[in-house]
Structures are given as structure tokens and as C-alpha cells.
A and B are shown apart, each in its own frame.
Chain A
Amino acid sequence: MAQKAMPHDLAPAQEAPTARDDGPGLLTLDGIGVRFGGRQVLNDVSFTLSKGEFAGLIGPNGAGKTTLLRVILGLLQPSGGKVLVAGEQHLRSKQLIGYVPQKLVIDPDMPLRARDVVSLGLDGNKLGFSFPSRQRRALIDQALADVGADSYADHRVGELSGGEQQRVLIAHALISRPRLLLLDEPLANLDLKSEQEIVALLGKLAREHEIAVLLSAHDMNPLLHVMDRIVYVANGHVATGSTDEVVTSAGLSRLYGHHVDVVRVHGRVLVVAGE
């Protein structure tokens, strides 16, 4: 099994990360297919994610990454196959999955401070209203501190920068202690520095909270040091394994259905269409 490089300044001491067998995986997709308007968009998608695994859902734009995430969340019905979260097909408790959607367009006038958004993560899906309590405030403060957003906790969320909003949304998703965290293209529209910070933050949080993370992106490079495994989507199919196993010229050519070259330069990976 190929080893992944661990940046030593981030990782606390940890056992060898090969095949965590805590019984059935936390997230299992088995033969998932999706049809849109007569076209088979995704075919026979199967993979498993275990507790503590950090997986990148990588693929070109339009490959079906968002579609796949929506199927896992129960927002989209697959045409075949099943999704199991913690062994159960139909989620009783929606608390198990935390979701950070693609960049939201938030009006600067929206009367929500960063801490209000995080507070909605606790019980925003329930009717009625919650009474402020010291305990509640402490939870929210801690969640904000965990993502480094405490300095702008009282600012309007619509006035924050892209990276700041992303952190707030992550805090929102994590505060209810999910076991699986899904993020849809969190790195798009971020400047390079914010990109690196968010990736490092997610790696740290995943380890600390012992949750599984599935994050979609069209460029795998920012994630190379953090991913335990890659789920590569292209041409309606999926290949999964470690980056070294999956991202090869032969493997991806098979996936895409036409020739592609995988070029590695200075630790970076480029996927280039062939002749």
C-alpha cells in the first residue's frame, strides 16, 4: 500500500493509518447510479469511508461530484444502488452528517452574525426558538474558536471574505457533532493562502473530532498532503484508492475512456488530455 506524506507540523502522534476496520464503514456507497433526463450521469459508484478518513472527491467540472454529494445527503434519489450511513440506509438522525454547501451568495443585509449562523447549526432545523444560555454561548464560542473565527464572531456574515465565510460554515456544520462531514467545492473562489489554511484546518478538525471527511474539488493538488484516499469521478464512473494507485496514466485513461497523461512535477499532479 502506498504511504501518504504526513506534514509533521500538523499531525499529532497517531497509529498507522492503513485500513481502519471498525466494522462496516461509516459511509458506504454500493452500486449507485444517477439518471438525468434520459442520460446515465453516474454508473455503479461504490466506495467506503471509515471513521477518521479524509477523502477527496476529485474530478473535472460537470463530472457529477455535486450530484454524488446530493445523493449521499438524501437530496437526490439515485436510480439504483444504496447509500449506507453508519450501517443504516435511511437516516433516522440527520445529525450524523454535517454539510458545507458550495459558496453561498449572502446578501450584505442579511441580519445574521457569524455566531448566529453557527447557532443555527445547533437547532436551526427545529421549530420555535431557543433561549440564550451560558452553556449555549460557550458551545458557540468554542465552535468559532476551533475554526479560528472568533475575531469576527459578531460581524455580519454577508460582509465576511470568502475564506472567513467558509470557516463559519464549517463551524456551523461541526457544532452538532456529526460523524461525517461533506463539503462541496470549499476551495473554489478562495485565494491561495485561504485555500491552504482551510485545508490544514479541515485536516486538524478531522483528526481531533474523529470524523470522516469527504470534500469535492476539481484540483487535487491542495489536498495531496491531507487525503487518505481519493475518489476520482470522470465519465460517469469512479475509481477509488490511494492517490498513487488511482492517479496514473493507465488508470485514468481507463476511467475517462480516452487517453490522458498524468504528469508529476515538483510534487504536483497534472492530468492532461492526450492525443
Chain B
Amino acid sequence: MHYLFEPGLLASGPVRTALLIGVVVAVTSGVIGVFTVIRGQSFAGHSLADVATTGGSGAFLVGLNQFWGFLAAGVAAAALMEAIGVQRRRGRDVATGVVLGAALGAAALFLYLGTQQTSTTGASFTILFGSIFVVSADTVPVLIASGVLAILTVVVLARVLLLTSLSPDVARARGVNVRLVGAAYLIALAISVSLSAVAIGAVLSTALLIGPAATALRVSRSPVKAMAVAAATGLAATWIGIVLAYDSYYWPPHGHGWPVSFFVVVLVLAGYLPRPRPVARRSPHEGAECSPA
């Protein structure tokens, strides 16, 4: 146990902050991830993450906290997606990829210009791969508030989102404004991606979005249970990742530490690895086995 909880783990301020942020990030990503996978919009999540990279780099360039950059870019992209239509159509993959390429190119530029100005090394790394240990304590309230907002939005919309995923036509016929609901959900998704980007980096944020959600959907039959399992799985991966990252300061190469994002991604994948499917349907002839009275 001593090797798992290296000295000073829980006494360390940054670690405690990281654990707290981990809660917000994991729960938000888990809950919203469930709807993302149901709606088949993992692609949208991935695209938002790339755009978030540009936003984070831009924020870095102008000296703002990265989170605002992630958030602004994410929300703008979400609005654009809603206007254009999120469906995965033929040829759309290519078009999206090329446009995202331009966004990433812009990120490259912002990072370059930013490092020229401030001469901080390592900014590229933290924006791309996360910086959960270096988030300042006064950012925490903002992160929590955003997370709560996103979760509330999705919880209030949950029923309507499920109906729309089942059949958009039935939803429309019942008076649901499918576009507005879709837009609100995309914005919640943008917030979720931004939170993950702060924790494990823009480039890796989709892991927390789809991994725990996919795990949860395999084992849960009802929507509420799926959200709970996704949040719990994501939280486990994040917290264990934080602990291991802290411990890794003592692993080779000494004094350096391995990135939290690496551990989180590995744990998310490990959490998903195939397990046997839940019990098969009851046979309709089961009753016939019983002897007649």
C-alpha cells in the first residue's frame, strides 16, 4: 500500500485540487458521454476537441486561462455544427478533417507565437495533454459551475433527448423543437470537452467522453443507471490516474513524473475491455419446464 500512496499524497494542495477537479470532469463527461454515444455523435465530440485545441492555444497567446479558450472555441464550433447539421454524411468526414486541419494549424501558430512572447516552455504540452496538477485554485469555482450547468442541462433534457434519439420524427410530431434541443445538448458537450481538456488535454479528452459511457452502456439497461455507471467509471479512472501520476515522481526517471493523461487513458481503455454480455433473454418456453399442477 505504501507504494500506491506515496508520502504526502493527500497533504499536497495541488493533488487535492486535482482530485476535486477530477470529480467535476469525470461526472460531467460520463453523463454527457452517455448521450453522445446514444446519439452517435462521438465524431462531433472528437471534432470539438480539436477545435478546443485552437481555442486553448489562442487563450494562451492572449494570456487568458486556457479553460476560457477551450470553452469559447467549443461553444462557437457547437453553434456552427448545429447550423450546418451534425449528421455524419458521405464526404463529410473529409470536409471536417480538412477544416479541422486548418484549426490545428492555427493552434500551431498560436502556440508558437505564445511561446515566443512569454518564453514559457511546456505550454504546448499542457494544452495538448493536460495540466490537472497546475490548475490554480481560483479557477476551481468556474470549473465546478460549468460542470454543474452542463449536467443540469442534460438531466433536464434527458427524456427529450432519449425520445429524439429513438425517433426524431416522433419527437417532432409531439411538438419537440428538435433543433433547439440538439443545440442545447451540443453546448453542454462543448462544456464537457473543455473540462476534460483542462484535466487531460484537448487531444486526449475524447477518452473520458466515450470510454466510460461505452462501458456503462454495455451493462446498463436503463438511462439513469447508464449515467451513474459512466460517472463512476470515469471518476475511478481519473482518481486512480491522479494517484499514479503522483506516485510516478518516484518512478524512473526520478523527479519527473508521468503525465496524468497517460494513466487516465490507459485506465479508461482497461475499464472498457470486453467482458461477457449480461444474461441473455429469458426463453419464452421457460414456463413449460414446470410440471402442470
- The answer to whether any beta carbons of A and B sit under 8 Å apart in the complex is yes
Set of chain B residues within 8 Å of A154, measured between Cβ atoms: 221
A73 within 8 A of B: yes
Stretch at the interface among A15-23, A26-34, A119-127: A119-127
Q: Mark B273-286, 1 if CB is under 8 A from A, else 0.
A: 00000000110100
Q: Are B217 and A125 in contact (CB under 8 A)?
A: no
Chain A's closest residue to B176 (CB) is A125
Chain A's closest residue to B164 (CB) is A124
Q: Are A129 and B159 in contact (CB under 8 A)?
A: yes
Interface size class of B (residues with CB under 8 A): 35 or more
Q: Are A99 and B226 in contact (CB under 8 A)?
A: no
B172 within 8 A of A: yes
**Partner among A101, A111, A117, A172 whose Cβ is within 8 Å of the Cβ of B220:** A111
Set of chain B residues within 8 Å of A127, measured between Cβ atoms: 156-157, 159-160
Q: Are A111 and B166 in contact (CB under 8 A)?
A: no
B9 within 8 A of A: no
**Partner among A97, A109, A120, A155 whose Cβ is within 8 Å of the Cβ of B163:** A120
- Known contacts A94-B175, A120-B163, A129-B155: A101-B170 contact under CB 8 Å: yes
A159 within 8 A of B: yes
A116 within 8 A of B: yes
B223 within 8 A of A: yes
A:157-175 near B, CB below 8 Å: 159, 172
Chain B's closest residue to A184 (CB) is B169
**Partner among B38, B159, B175, B282 whose Cβ is within 8 Å of the Cβ of A111:** B38
Chain B's closest residue to A113 (CB) is B221
Chain B interface main SS type: helix
B158 within 8 A of A: yes
Q: Are A128 and B159 in contact (CB under 8 A)?
A: yes
Q: How far is the CA of A113 from the CA of B40 in the complex (A)?
A: 19
Q: Are B217 and A99 in contact (CB under 8 A)?
A: no
Report the minimum CB–CB distance from B6 to chain A (whole Å).
39
- Known contacts A111-B221, A120-B163, A124-B159: A73-B173 contact under CB 8 Å: yes
Report the minimum CB–CB distance from B168 to chain A (whole Å).
9
Residue with the highest number of chain B CB atoms closer than 10 Å, among A99, A107, A125, A126 = A125
9 more A-B residue pairs beyond the given contacts A109-B37, A124-B163, A151-B282, with a C-beta to C-beta distance below 8 A: A73-B172, A109-B214, A109-B217, A111-B38, A111-B223, A112-B223, A120-B162, A127-B156, A159-B281
